[in-house]
Amino acid sequence: MNNLNQQPVLNRLKRLSRQYQTRKQLRNLPSYLLNDIALTTESSRTELKKNRLVVLLFNALKGD
C-alpha cells in the first residue's frame, strides 16, 4: 500500500485517538463544568460509552 492510500486511514486513527482522549477527560469533569459546555451527566456518560468501541478497535489493530 502506498502512502496516498494510507493517509486517510492514519488521519482517521489520529482523529479517533483525539476523540478518545477528549471523552476520557469528561469522566473527571464536575457537573457545573459539564453544564458550561452544554452537557448533562447522562450525555457525558453516553459519550464515554463511545470510547468502548474505540478501545476495541485499537486492540483489534494491535492484535490483542
DSSP string, 5-34: HHHHHHHHHHHHHHHHHHHHHHTT--HHHH
Give the integer Cα–Cα distance in Å for 10 and 7: 5
pLDDT tier at 64 (50, 70, 90 boundaries)?
A: low
Q: CB under 8 Å to 53, separation ≥6 — which residues? A: none
Cell digits of residue 44: 457525558
| Chain segment 4-34, per-residue pLDDT in tens | 677 888 888 888 888 888 888 888 899 999 9
Start-to-end CA span in the chain (Å): 23
Q: What does pTM read for this prediction? A: 0.62
